[in-house]
Amino acid sequence: MEKIIEESKQGESLVLENKPENTKKLFIESYGCAMNFSDSEVVASILSDGGYNTTSVLEEADLVLVNTCSIRDKAEQTIRKRLEKYNAVKRTNPKMKVGVLGCMAERLKSQFLEEEKIVDLVVGPDAYKDLPNLLAEVEEGRDAINVILSKEETYGDISPVRLMSNGITALVSITRGCDNMCTFCVVPFTRGRERSREPQSIMNEIKDLWEKGFKEITLLGQNVDSYLWYGGGLKKDFVNASEMQKATAVDFDQLLEMVAVGFPKMRIRFSTSNPQDMHESILHVIAKYPNICKHIHLPVQSGSNRILKEMNRLHSREEYMALIDKIRAIVPDASISQDMIAGFPTETEEDHLDTMSLMEYVKYNFGYMYSYSERPGTLAGRKMKDDVEEETKARRLQEIVDLQQKHAWFRSEEFVGKTVEVLVEKVSKKSKDEFSGRNSQSITVVFPKENYKIGDFVNVKITSCTSGTLKGEAVGLSSMN
């Protein structure tokens, strides 16, 4: 499982339209990957029905929830500092209740509730429907906990409330959990085994978004390419499915095509992919439909076969490079992005140079790069010594970042002189006279506003670039409007 941590979104407090009949106030803050932000929308929907309106003012909240991430030590330390802040406020407002949701909840349940006594309730990723019952327990003066991982829960029957939404783009969860036991990752332990959501409930959610004016959706999962619906149940149990279930099963390329055909004027993205599940059939669907974005996030983690084996990645360097070749052949205009870990246990200088040479081969458009931090509970945490010096990790990470910056410039410059379709998402941060949006390849594009508006698909001729942003002039609306 790969997680993209968008640093700019960390700690967003989420606010939605108030219901006049609701009398209690909820402050909910999210950390981690897109799946956590999507889960917060599910939680807000459940609690909205339970009498809570959201607030962005911590001090006035009756209930404070933080949706947590365990993927990196830095994320956990940030959340601990936030919990200290909540409890400082709680001393002046003793009626306030504090709860932890998500991956840290599952991992540190007893510490939070019993040893440190810093929260009132702990709720794991599969137990959000139990929130009303857990809050009733808290009101009775008892600690409340539910971190049971489910084989079935996909929240397919909950209509998420779109929190902090621009009204243009939305996340649609299609799978939960992960079966890939990468040795560095806590997700299989905090989110459980992989299961997929019923296709019709996905289509219904997208239809609702389309009717509300949304223009782009991201199909979301810990590992979207391995989506498989055969009537419910865990992915690993598909081998025991009936012949009828196998014959009528829906996999990711079929789901992707269903969405593309069903909503031809809606842009479709997906995240995150795993190399061993990115089958050629998926690439042909991406190539066939213009409304499927030409961006593939394809985490590799290392360019060294020895380290990939230590990580229990289910692909080799050579298989990954062959997949890159296939993407270039079938979807030649696709952008490709990466996740990379520097300084995994036992990594040598030769292993590091293998990573650098793989990056030279692919020349990624952008990436998410981290130095290794040991996560308690993972196989690497239990069985491997974190033996790479911190300064060596830092140097290797910087070399990876510097090389990625060089490649990002190279890839950006390829767009100069070309016309790209941009979905206008917001006013540019740097100038109120410019709009900002992304092209199909998920690269940010800014251009003068003129008479266009947020939500328009605009053709923009690229005149200049930086390593991460394209700049241009609008030449007219695209056929997607």
Please give the full DSSP string across 41-99, using - where no structure is assigned. HHHHHHHHTTTEEE-S-GGG-SEEEEEE--SSHHHHHHHHHHHHHHHHHHHH-TT-EEE
* Binding site residue list: 33, 69, 103, 178, 182, 185
Residue 113 has pLDDT above 80, yes or no: no
Best-predicted range by mean pLDDT (105-114, 184-193, 214-223): 214-223
Confidence of residue 36 (pLDDT cuts 50, 70, 90): confident
In the predicted model, what is the mean pLDDT of residues 145-165?
A: 71
Do strands 469-477 and 457-465 pair parallel, antiparallel, or not at all (unpaired)? Answer: antiparallel
In b/e form, how buried is each residue of 134-147, taking b as 16+ CB within 10 angstroms? bbebbeeeeebbbb
User: Cis bond leading into 463, ω under 30°?
Assistant: no
Could you give phi then psi for residue 356, rounded to 5 degrees?
A: -60, -40
137, 144 contact by CB (below 8 A):
yes
| pLDDT value for 165 | 67
Average pLDDT rounded to a whole number, residues 110-126: 80
Specify the range with the lowest mean pLDDT, choosing from 165-179, 201-215, 290-304, 430-444: 165-179
CA nearest to 391, candidates 435, 342, 449, 443: 342
Neighbours of 314 (CB within 10 A): 15
Which residues, including other chains, have CB under 8 Å from residue 206's CB and lie 6 or more apart?
A: 172, 217, 259, 262, 263, 266
**Residue 2, pLDDT score:** 38
Residue 424 one-letter amino acid: V
Contact indicator for 174, 160 with CB cutoff of 8 Å: no
Return d(Cα 402, Cα 417) in angstroms, integer: 26
- Alpha carbons 192 and 175: distance in angstroms, whole number: 11
State the pLDDT at residue 17. 66
Whether 117 shows a pLDDT value over 60: the answer reads yes
How many CB atoms lie under 10 A from the CB of residue 328? 13
Provide mean pLDDT across the span 363-385: 91
3: Cβ contacts below 8 Å, ≥ 6 apart: 32, 33, 35, 69, 71, 187, 222, 272
- Give the residue numbers of the binding site for [4Fe-4S] cluster: 33, 69, 103, 178, 182, 185
Q: What mean pLDDT comes out for the span 127-151?
A: 83
Question: How far is the C-alpha of 173 from the C-alpha of 189, rounded, in Å?
Answer: 19
Which of 411 and 272 is assigned the larger pLDDT? Answer: 411
User: In terms of pLDDT, which residue wins out, 32 or 114?
Assistant: 32
pLDDT at 364 over 90: yes
Residues pairing with 422 in the sheet? 458
pLDDT at residue 137 in the model: 86
Q: Which helix (H) or strand (E) segment is 378 a member of?
A: none
Its pTM surpasses 0.85? no
**What burial letters (b/e) apply to 63-79, b meaning 16+ CB within 10 Å?**
bbbbbbbbbbeebbebb
> What is the residue-averaged pLDDT of the chain?
89
**What is the predicted pLDDT for the residue at 5?**
45
Taking a C-beta distance cutoff of 8 angstroms, is the pair 316, 308 a contact?
Answer: yes
User: Which range is least confidently modeled, 50-54, 251-255, 409-413?
Assistant: 50-54
User: What's the pLDDT score for residue 4?
Assistant: 45
